[in-house]
Amino acid sequence: MKYIFLVLLFLSNISFSQNILLGKVIGKDKNIIAGATIYLSKIENNDYISYTTSDENGLFAINSKKNNVKITINALGYKTTEKIVTYDPSI
């Protein structure tokens, strides 16, 4: 089974209380993973927040109103990856 690595960047728009999570999905072998499905859910109860897919360069952008989320990435031929992402707007 192949593994997925994830590069993340969190951006915040304070005026609209929106966070934008930017990332790139790559394999352990450093190959770009296009068409991966990225889901955001609440940490406390796994309630769905939003989803998107990675583009042909493995890049994605997804909006969230929450600062702490669980991100789940699925891609055909790869093991599903889950990570907790915490954004601290005071930094």
CA 59 to chain centre: 10
The mean predicted confidence, pLDDT, of the chain is 82
Q: How would residue 85 be classed by pLDDT, with cut points 50, 70 and 90?
A: confident
Q: Find, among 62, 82, 73, the residue nearest to 19 by Cα.
A: 62
Reported as a single tens digit per residue, the pLDDT across 23-64 is 899 988 889 999 999 999 998 898 998 999 999 999 999 888
The predicted model scores a pTM of 0.78
Question: Can you point out the beta strands (E) in the chain?
Answer: 4-13, 18-27, 37-42, 48-53, 59-64, 68-74, 81-86
